[in-house]
Amino acid sequence: MALQRTYLDWNATAPLSEAARLAMIDALSLPGNASSVHAEGRAARAAVEKARRQVAVLAGAEPAHVTFTSGATEASSHVLTPDYRMGRAPVTISRLYVSAIEHPAIREGGRFATEQVTEVPVTSAGVVDLEALEALLSNHDQASGLPMVAVMLVNNETGIVQPVAEAAALAHKYRGLMVVDAVQAAGRIALDINALDADFLILSSHKIGGPKGVGALISRGEVLMPKPLIRGGGQEKGHRSGTENFHAIIGFGAAAEVMSEDLENRNGRIGAFRDALERAMVQAASDIVIHGAGGPRVANTIFFTLPGLKAETGQIAFDLEGIALSAGSACSSGKVGQSHVLTAMGLNSDIGGLRISLGPETTETDIERAITAFGKIAGRRKLPGQAA
């Protein structure tokens, strides 16, 4: 009998939603290039613009301010640059201030030189240290150029919600720009680029049930924009040249529309599952450490350390029990080493952490299987001082 699989790694990637799949199948029948002026091209353009509106609604933004990219990493490299334009006038961004818990796509600094990137610490609770951020910004050399601040809205490992609006207020106080990675927030908390006071938001399709290989950079306006990363035929208003990834964009839009709806009820259900699973885990292993449990988190994420169980060993053990989860960020899961998020929080344990993340299709049966698997694995681990 085949082992039944339970997918609890939605923060790594969400399974393709039915709405996205059907939208992409329909799009396969549209032959035109969205840049062509004939009827077939206009039909393709209409489909792309519908998707742009759908993504804009999810972000609380204007459709005209959505630029489609190949994913969040490209969007990050696009926006994280020293070279901006205000109309035709060049504007220099001389330093990037990036929180210590950012995704690698942000932490690498995009097109900034290494010496132009400054790390902003976080508190032991895993929240960006706003006092430290202001101290850094107050000492910024304005004569060299403007500052840029990059803080994610929801951390991909812990699920902790960051004080982005407060960080944005500080960035703007010191004449800077605010970039927000909203990849893990989309569909889990309400997004509004204006309420967040962000200048730019970054989204990824495959985190919300859309296809892989497409994302978006969303701006609050069109006056101050980064120098294009990809030049060519001038698609996406010249911000991102190259023929649009048409079918993926259509799927992205459909997924965004689904995730824009019924947010409170969907996340209430997911949160109830998450809380039930956490209670069972604590009951089975009272020494478990659930990172971020005392602060604001999105409803779907559990990031935990189990003494006596290394993260990579635990990931394999759960996989053998039929449970798919992550040892930290999926983008770094092939690397053995400590989570940079835990390190930033001052937790220098060498065993790392495991991440369970739920989604709209998670069922009660999935939770029951996870509880059973956790009990087995927790019971098998070797605790410090325990005889072999």
Please say if the pLDDT value at position 333 is more than 90. no
Burial label, 172 (beta-carbon count in 10 A; 0-12, 13-18, 19+): middle
Report the number of secondary-structure helices (H) and strands (E) in the chain.
11, 14
* Per annotation, catalytic residue among 91, 130, 276, 331: 331
Segment 29-69, tens digit of pLDDT: 999 999 999 999 999 999 999 999 999 999 999 999 999 99
Please tell me the total number of residues recorded for the chain in this structure. 388
Is the alpha carbon torsion for 245, 251, 257, 261 positive or negative?
A: negative
SS3 184: coil
Mean pLDDT across the stretch 296-322? 95
Q: What is the pTM of this model?
A: 0.94
Segment 222-254, tens digit of pLDDT: 999 999 999 999 999 999 999 999 999 999 999
Banded model confidence at residue 71, pLDDT cuts 50, 70, 90: very high
List Cα–Cα distances, 85 to 66, 90, 116, in angstroms. 17, 5, 19
Please say if the pLDDT value at position 156 is more than 90. yes
CB-based contacts of 29, cutoff 8 Å, min separation 6: none
Among the listed residues 103, 157, 154, the one whose alpha carbon sits nearest the alpha carbon of residue 356: 157
Domains of the chain: 6-15+263-380 (3.90.1150.10), 22-260 (3.40.640.10)
Please say if the pLDDT value at position 168 is more than 70. yes
Among the listed residues 149, 167, 166, the one whose alpha carbon sits nearest the alpha carbon of residue 109: 149
Per the listing, tokens 């220099």 go with 92
What secondary structure does DSSP assign to 244-313, as a single string? Answer: --HHHHHHHHHHHHHHHSSHHHHHHHHHHHHHHHHHHHHHH-TT-EETTTTS-B-TTEEEEE-TT--HHH
Q: What's the pLDDT at 82?
A: 98
DSSP 8-state assignment for residue 82: S
What are 98's strand-pairing partners? 119, 150
Segment 344-359, tens digit of pLDDT: 999 876 889 999 999 9
CA dist., res. 43 & res. 48, Å (int): 9
Residue 359's identity, in one-letter code, is G
SS3 54: helix
Banded model confidence at residue 388, pLDDT cuts 50, 70, 90: very low
Catalytic site includes residue 331? yes
Q: What is the mean pLDDT of the chain?
A: 94
- The first and second tokens of residue 7, run together, are 């997918």
Please say if the pLDDT value at position 334 is more than 70. no
What are 2's strand-pairing partners? none
